[in-house]
Amino acid sequence: MTAPHGPAPAGRAAGTTRPQEPDAPGPDRDPTTPATTAPATPSTSTALGAAAIWRRARGLLLALGMLIATGVALAAFNSGENLGALDPRSADRNGSRAVAELLKQRGVTTRVVTRTQDAVDAAGPDTTLLVANPELLSPRQLSELKAAIDLSGGRTVLVTPGRTTLTALAPGVQARRAAPGEVREPACALPAARSAGSAETGGRIGYRTDDPKATACYPDGDHATVLLLPAHADGDTVLLGSGRILENEHLAAQGNASLTLHTLGSRPQLVWYLPSPAEAIESGGAEGEDKTLFELIPAGWTWAVLQLFVAAVLAALWRARRLGPLVTEKLPVAIRASEATEGRARLYRKADARDRAATVLRAATRERLAALVGVPHTRAHDPASLAPAVSARLTGEPRDVTALLFGSTPSDDAALVALADHLDALEREVRTS
């Protein structure tokens, strides 16, 4: 039989008990009775467990897994034949298979090449050479094409060439971005344009030249979205300011099909040149004029990166809401005051918030001291009212009470602990005075 529990000793902290020795039987206890062990003190460690780590990391791991899966899917998709925009083998909406099929019905043979040397070798008087994206070509490739075009006597069609391409292949032609609005009228005497009528040639680039022999069609102000340039050896060059008339999705609209067939079907053979970025890098390196990484990145990726940046900023603002003012809420369970105090202290320490901790300690001490020395509660945080009243209750050597109760922030954790001890000692002395 055990003695009934009495009140806790005066010097013992509230809420704590002294554990009994389990192996030493007392005089009033049966040795055969199993010893009763004290309940284990709940741990207050802030270390994260496996479950907490998983909850925090699962979102990042899921996103990483989706990114890897997307990369694998894209790699598998691109491992085969890569059919992109303005590709005569592609049946996608931005491909050009419909153009190739219509030309085939009219006896025009379409051949796809992806290397500059193949395009140069195929150029001739009975051939139309179409360059789908000439801006991918290096200076060396442009020079080789220029030499072949001048000697071929055939037709060359350049789709949306920029300033670099025009300088090499069509000197004297100026380019600028076309105004919005894609459907335009011919406004020229070119038979192919007059037969086609209105066509979707605008919205990308317009061209202008001072050559009196050039024919400017589908104008955009003083620039043309289709420009026919006479060349050497009875050949010519056609500049298209937009590739929409070649795409499967837009071929049947307006006079796109008629203009396309007249432009590409004037010779019995059509060489469709799709420049390869890899070849451009190799060719540019051989000439010592490598393109930078940003020049090789497609324009659409710039908008994608911008959208990701905006999404990151919005996510940061969303997460920043938790840094707002504290909200008092009713706890679902009762927590001992010592545990709540220890938990708050650990949060302050983890956040390195010595300023906030020192402010809380001083404010609470000032309020208790004000009640002890008779200072009104409204003047508890006024140094001129509280400091003299507290100093009058002290004995011994004079002390700077103002610096202790209203001083600066402790410089480190040791100084913060010392501040708490000094505040506690000051309050005890006032209480006993």
- Per-residue confidence (pLDDT) for residue 301, from 0 to 100: 73
The helix or strand, by DSSP H or E, that contains position 371, with its residue range, turns out to be: helix 354-373
Q: Which of 268, 291, 314 is the last residue of a domain?
A: 291
More confident residue, 25 or 344: 344
Instruction: Note whether 387 and 259 are same-domain residues.
Output: no
- Per-residue confidence (pLDDT) for residue 131, from 0 to 100: 93
Instruction: Note whether 115 and 245 are same-domain residues.
Output: yes
Residue type, 114: T
Q: Which of 291, 321, 353 is the last residue of a domain?
A: 291
- Per-residue confidence (pLDDT) for residue 159, from 0 to 100: 93
Q: What are phi and psi of 78, to 5 degrees?
A: -85, -5
- Per-residue confidence (pLDDT) for residue 291, from 0 to 100: 55
Instruction: Note whether 347 and 202 are same-domain residues.
Output: no
Per-residue tokens: 6: 């009495």
- Per-residue confidence (pLDDT) for residue 15, from 0 to 100: 39
Q: Exposed, middle or buried: residue 304 (CB in 10 Å: 0-12, 13-18, 19+)?
A: exposed
Tell whether the model's pLDDT for residue 167 goes beyond 70.
Answer: yes
Q: How confident is the model at residue 80 (pLDDT cuts 50, 70, 90)?
A: very low
- Per-residue confidence (pLDDT) for residue 233, from 0 to 100: 64
Instruction: Note whether 205 and 272 are same-domain residues.
Output: yes
The helix or strand, by DSSP H or E, that contains position 104, with its residue range, turns out to be: helix 97-105
Q: What are phi and psi of 112, to 5 degrees?
A: -100, 130
Picking from 146, 198, 194, 200, the residue whose alpha carbon sits closest to that of residue 170 is: 146
| Percent share of the chain, pLDDT over 70 | 80
Picking from 149, 103, 119, the residue whose alpha carbon sits closest to that of residue 264 is: 103
Least confident window among 13-17, 123-127, 206-210: 13-17
CA distance 195 to 192: 5
Residue 322 lies in a domain: no
Tell whether the model's pLDDT for residue 219 goes beyond 80.
Answer: yes
Tally of helices (H runs) and strands (E runs) in the chain: 15, 11
Tell whether the model's pLDDT for residue 395 goes beyond 90.
Answer: no
Instruction: Note whether 210 and 127 are same-domain residues.
Output: yes
Instruction: Note whether 271 and 344 are same-domain residues.
Output: no
Range of the structural domain that residue 205 is part of = 97-291
Picking from 273, 250, 241, the residue whose alpha carbon sits closest to that of residue 170 is: 241
Residue 82 lies in a domain: no
| Percent share of the chain, pLDDT over 90 | 29
Tell whether the model's pLDDT for residue 246 goes beyond 80.
Answer: yes
Mean pLDDT to the nearest integer, 234-243? 88
Tell whether the model's pLDDT for residue 13 goes beyond 50.
Answer: no
Instruction: Note whether 348 and 249 are same-domain residues.
Output: no
- Per-residue confidence (pLDDT) for residue 294, from 0 to 100: 63
Tell whether the model's pLDDT for residue 10 goes beyond 60.
Answer: no
pLDDT per residue over 250-266, tens digit each? 999 889 999 999 999 98
Picking from 121, 122, 132, the residue whose alpha carbon sits closest to that of residue 165 is: 132
Per-residue tokens: 79: 């491992």
Mean pLDDT to the nearest integer, 282-290? 51
- Per-residue confidence (pLDDT) for residue 47, from 0 to 100: 61
Tell whether the model's pLDDT for residue 44 goes beyond 80.
Answer: no
Picking from 218, 212, 169, 173, the residue whose alpha carbon sits closest to that of residue 192 is: 218
- Per-residue confidence (pLDDT) for residue 130, from 0 to 100: 94
- Per-residue confidence (pLDDT) for residue 272, from 0 to 100: 94
CA distance 125 to 268: 10
Residue 311 lies in a domain: no
Contacts 24+ apart (CB under 8 A), 10-17: 13/338, 14/338, 15/336, 15/337, 15/338
Concatenate the DSSP letters of all residues of 188-242 into one string.
Answer: S--HHHHHH-SEE--SSEEEEE--TT-EEEEEETTEEEEEEEE-STT-EEEEES-
Instruction: Note whether 234 and 353 are same-domain residues.
Output: no
Instruction: Note whether 262 and 357 are same-domain residues.
Output: no
Strand ranges (E), 241-333: 269-273
Per-residue tokens: 2: 């055990």
Concatenate the DSSP letters of all residues of 387-406 into one string.
Answer: HHHHHHT--SS---HHHHHH
Tell whether the model's pLDDT for residue 78 goes beyond 60.
Answer: no
Q: Averaging pLDDT over each range in 64-73, 175-184, 354-363, 388-397, which range is the top one?
A: 354-363
The DSSP secondary-structure symbol of 89 reads T
Side-chain-side CA neighbours of 22 within 13 Å: the count stands at: 6
Tell whether the model's pLDDT for residue 2 goes beyond 70.
Answer: no
Least confident window among 18-32, 314-328, 346-360, 381-395: 18-32
Mean pLDDT taken over the chain: 80
- Per-residue confidence (pLDDT) for residue 283, from 0 to 100: 60
Residue 312 lies in a domain: no
Return the number of other C-beta atoms located less than 10 Å from residue 409's C-beta: 14
Mean pLDDT to the nearest integer, 33-50? 52
Q: How confident is the model at residue 69 (pLDDT cuts 50, 70, 90)?
A: confident
Residue 184 lies in a domain: yes
Mean pLDDT to the nearest integer, 24-51? 50
Least confident window among 24-38, 57-71, 322-336: 24-38
Residue 208 sits in a domain of what CATH number?
3.40.50
Least confident window among 13-17, 28-32, 79-83, 340-344: 13-17
Helix axes 354-373, 337-350, angle to 10 degrees: 140
Mean pLDDT to the nearest integer, 2-7? 40
Mean pLDDT to the nearest integer, 190-211? 89
Picking from 237, 255, 4, the residue whose alpha carbon sits closest to that of residue 129 is: 237
- Per-residue confidence (pLDDT) for residue 48, from 0 to 100: 65
Residue 1 lies in a domain: no
Least confident window among 3-17, 142-156, 203-217, 418-432: 3-17
Instruction: Note whether 116 and 210 are same-domain residues.
Output: yes
**Pairing between strand 205-209 and 173-177?**
antiparallel
Which 3 state secondary structure label does DSSP give 172?
A: coil
How many domains are there within the chain?
Answer: 2
Tell whether the model's pLDDT for residue 21 goes beyond 60.
Answer: no
Concatenate the DSSP letters of all residues of 121-142 into one string.
Answer: HH-STTEEEEES-GGG--HHHH
Residue 115 lies in a domain: yes
Which 3 state secondary structure label does DSSP give 169?
A: helix
Global pTM reads 0.51
Per-residue tokens: 269: 């053979």
Q: Which of 236, 269, 291 is the last residue of a domain?
A: 291
More confident residue, 155 or 10: 155
Residue 36 lies in a domain: no
- Per-residue confidence (pLDDT) for residue 292, from 0 to 100: 64
Instruction: Note whether 220 and 281 are same-domain residues.
Output: yes
Instruction: Note whether 127 and 250 are same-domain residues.
Output: yes
